[in-house]
Structures are given as C-alpha cells and as structure tokens.
Amino acid sequence: GRVVRFIAPLRVTASCLGCHARHGYAEGDIRGGLSITIPVDWAQELMTKNMRSLILIGVASIVMVTVALFLMFETLIVHRIRALSRAMDSFPEESPERYLLPYTFRDELDNVSETFMLFCDRLKKSQEELLRTRAQTHLSEKMASLGILTSGIAHEVNNPLGGMLNCVKTMRENPGDRELVERYLPLLDKGLRQIEMIMRQLLNFGRVEPLNIRRTDLKQLFDECAVLLSYKLKNIRLETSVEVGRTYLLDAEALKQIFINIGLNAIQAMQATPDGRLTIRCCEEDEKLVLVFRDTGTGISAENMPHIFDPFFTTKGVGEGTGLGLAVTYSLVQRMNGTIGVKSKAGEGAEFTITLPVAENTEAAHGGTTVTTRDAYAENTSC
C-alpha cells in the first residue's frame, strides 16, 4: 500500500565527540541516517471518518439553527400576524381584543395592532354617531311627512267641503226651492264621494295588510283593466301586449290598482296631446315579471322627478287628482318585493318599468301560447 517516508541525516554534535571522536568523527560529520515510514491507508480512513463526523455535525447544527429560527419567526412574527388577521376578519361582528396578543415587544407589529384597535374604536364611535344621526333624520322625515300629509288632507278635503257648505247654506236660505235642492244634491253627492275617495286612498296608502296571493291570469287581468281605462280614453290609443303564457302567484287586486293608477296618470298627462298613445307591455325576463307603461304625454320635468312618489304631490289642477296614486303604487310594489323605475323628460312622455319577482310554482295558461292584445309596441323596452 501507499506509505509516507521521512529520511533525515544524523550529524555528530559536540556531545557525541566523547564517544565517537576515537573513530575519527568530527563535529558536523554525518554518522548515519533516520528513516521513518508511515502507512497512508489507515490515515486516509481516519480522515474520511472524521470528515463524515464533521459533515453530520454541520448538517445537524444547520437543522437545529433553522428549526430554532423557524420557531422564533413563527412565535414572534407569524403567530402575531395571524392573530391580527383573525382580529381584522372578525371585526365588526366580534371585538378584535379577543384575538390580539398583548403588546409585549413594542415593535412594528405591536404598533400595527395598536393602530388597528384605535381604528376600530373610532369606527364604532362613528357608527354609533351615524345611527343617532340617522334616527334623528328619520324622526325629522316622519314629522315632515306628517306635516305634508296633514296639509295635503286638509287641502284636498277642504276643496269639496267648501262647495258643499255653500250648497247647504244656499238650500237652508231657500228651503222651499225644490229646483235648487235637486240641482245641489248631485253636487253634494259628488263632494261626499270625492272626500270618500280621498279617505279610501289614504287608508290604502297607510294600511299594511297581508297580500292576497292567488294564481292570476295576466291576460285576463290586463283585459279587465283595459276595459276600465277605456271609459277615460278620448283621442288616446291604448296598446297592450301580454307576452307570457302561464299564470303567476300574485296579488291580483294590488296589480290592478297599480295598472289603473299608472294608466290614469298617463291618460291625464295626454289630455292636451293630440293622438296620444299609451303602450303597456308585460313579459318575463330573468325569472322576473316586467311591466312597462309608456305614454306620449307631457312628460315629467327634472325638478319634479324626485317627488313623484311623495304623498299628495301633484301637478294637476284642483279637483283633478289627489297626489296619492303613484304613492300608493310605490307602496304596493315595495310590498310585493318589486322595484319601480321612471324614465322621462319634459315634453317627451314617460316610461314606468315595474319588476316583480316570479313565484316558482307557475303553470301554463291558455295552452302555453303567447297572447298579444291590440298592437304590440316593442321600442326601447326591457322586454
């Protein structure tokens, strides 16, 4: 095998002369050599063994340091970040203090947690202040609405009441005038009916009753409403289109009232319009029932648009309307979980779009065919 050999000369020193001088050696002469031979194989094996031990110790040290750093990072950073994240996710349903850790280290993460707590406290105070402000605003709106309702009722009732009082006064002054009595009795009857209508509309507006849901044939309902409106039509063309072929679970009476209220409004808006046209369409879209009412009347001005659903708001003359029709319509649509939208410009007519949710248990009606009455009108509608 391989060996390592060391060879060195042995020189005579001063201490050697006492013995070797007689042999002729002088100081510094070479009197021999030193040879040391060491096998390499065992040394190589020992070095390899020691190298393996060093590698194992190094790897173990690296693993131990890594684990220690991971645990320190998990404890000092990750755990605190997760706690902060849970606190953020739980807010505002739960208090963040339940998840946040104590401020032990006073480092950047503690600063973030403390800032988040301050933010939550301020947000809670803001929400409480908003609720108080909203409650005060709601109370103010209720009082304002009460004032509007009171003044509106007084105005609408006083108009026919004043005429009725004049009639009664005149009849009292002329008790024997039969012709006068016969002429004034219809006026009294008309005034009383007008007051009755105002009170009935007001009760319908304020009353909250369970909806009378029943299976409704929309074609039949539209035909009945069209007949009722036909008595008011003068030089106005009515077009209805029912593009559904099944019955629906709806409050038929509420839908009739919506139909009549919007229809009468449209007819009154077209009184001064030559060749007026009222188009009413009904179709199903995205599992919702869509009703579109479009007229060619005078339209609604921008300043009046925000108030058209307010109780007793009207632009009509005295005795032509109570201002409750659209308010009642809006209330009925809301109770049926629907929406109502308006598109209009002054002088360009108006379009009311009502969307109602469709009950799942519908069934085919009239053989499932599409029924269209009179002339269909499909321009710029959502159906």
Are 237 and 278 in contact by the 8 Å Cβ rule? The answer is yes
Rounded Cα distance between 114 and 147, Å, is 49
Length reported for the chain: 383
pLDDT higher at 353 or 274: 353
Closest CA to 192 of 213, 231, 164, 224: 164
CB 352 within 8 A of CB 262: yes
Q: What is the dihedral of CA 21, 23, 24, 26, to 10 degrees?
A: -40
The pLDDT tens digits for 158-172 are 777 888 888 888 888
CB atoms within 10 A of CB 123: 12
Q: Which helix (H) or strand (E) holds 167?
A: helix 108-173
What band does 75 get if pLDDT is binned at 50, 70 and 90?
confident
pLDDT digits (tens, 9 = 90+) for 324-371: 778 888 888 988 889 999 998 888 889 999 999 885 444 444 333 222
- 67 pLDDT band, cuts 50/70/90, is very high
- With 0-12 / 13-18 / 19 or more C-beta atoms within 10 angstroms meaning exposed / middle / buried, residue 35 is exposed
The predicted pLDDT at position 359 comes to 57
Residue in the block written with tokens 């007051």 = 195
pLDDT confidence of 47, banded at 50, 70, 90?
Answer: confident
pLDDT top residue among 356 and 4: 356
| Residue-range domain boundaries for the chain | 3-87, 155-206, 213-368
**Any bridge partners for residue 4, and if so which?**
38
324: DSSP letter: -
Q: H/E/C letters for each residue in 356-374?
A: EECCCCCEECHHHCCECCC
Distance CA 110, CA 252 (A): 63
Q: Give the chain's mean pLDDT.
A: 79
SS3 content of the chain, % helix, strand, coil (to 5): 55, 20, 30
The whole-number average pLDDT for the span 39-50 is 83
> Hey, which residues does 239 pair with through a beta bridge?
279
**Position 210 pLDDT exceeds 90:** no
* CA triple 53-59-60, angle to 5 deg: 90
Give Cα separations from 116 to 87, 95, 119, 130, 373 (angstroms).
9, 12, 5, 20, 64
Can you give the pLDDT at residue 90? 81
Annotation: CATH topology of 213-368: Heat Shock Protein 90 (3.30.565)
Nearest to 284 by CA among 380, 344, 362: 362
For residue 230, the one-letter residue type is S
Residue 313 has pLDDT above 70, yes or no: yes
Q: What is the pLDDT of residue 101?
A: 64
Given a cut of 80, whether residue 51 has pLDDT beyond it is: yes
* pLDDT tens sequence across 34-43: 888 888 887 7
Classify residue 333 as exposed, middle or buried by CB count within 10 Å of its CB (0-12, 13-18, 19+): buried
Lowest mean pLDDT among 11-15, 119-123, 232-236, 263-267: 232-236
pLDDT of res. 148: 52
Structure tokens at 47: 């070095």
Give the model confidence (pLDDT) of 109-149 as tens digits: 778 888 888 888 888 888 888 888 767 765 665 555 456 55
Range from 4-8, 19-23, 101-105, 287-291 carrying the lowest mean pLDDT = 101-105
pLDDT given at position 271: 81
Residue 38 CA to residue 222 CA, distance in Å, equals 118
What is the Cα–Cα distance from 150 to 148, expressed in whole angstroms?
A: 5
Helices H / strands E in the chain, number of each: 8, 10
Residue 381 burial by CB count (10 A; 0-12/13-18/19+): exposed, middle or buried? middle
pTM of the entire predicted model: 0.47
The top-scoring range by mean pLDDT among 110-124, 279-293, 309-323, 367-381 is 279-293
Residue 27 has pLDDT above 60, yes or no: yes
Q: What percent of the chain has pLDDT over 70?
A: 81
Which range is least confidently modeled, 215-219, 248-252, 317-321?
Answer: 317-321
Nearest Cα residue to 213 out of 107, 100, 356, 382: 356
Poorest-pLDDT segment among 12-16, 159-163, 239-243, 377-381: 377-381
Cα distance between residue 6 and residue 32, in whole Å: 14
Check pLDDT > 50 for residue 376. no
Averaged over 245-270, what is the pLDDT? 86
Return d(Cα 283, Cα 224) in angstroms, integer: 18
How far apart (Å, rounded) are the C-alpha atoms in residues 142 and 23?
A: 139
Strand-by-strand arrangement of the 288-295 sheet: 236-242, 276-285, 288-295, 350-357, 339-344
Q: Determine which of 26-40, 56-70, 155-169, 266-280 has the lowest per-residue pLDDT on average.
A: 155-169
pLDDT of residue 293: 94
Look at residue 132 in the predicted model and tell me its pLDDT.
84
Contact 321, 369 (CB under 8 A): no
Cα-flanking dihedrals φ and ψ of residue 169, to 5°? -60, -45
Closest CA to 242 of 332, 358, 377: 377
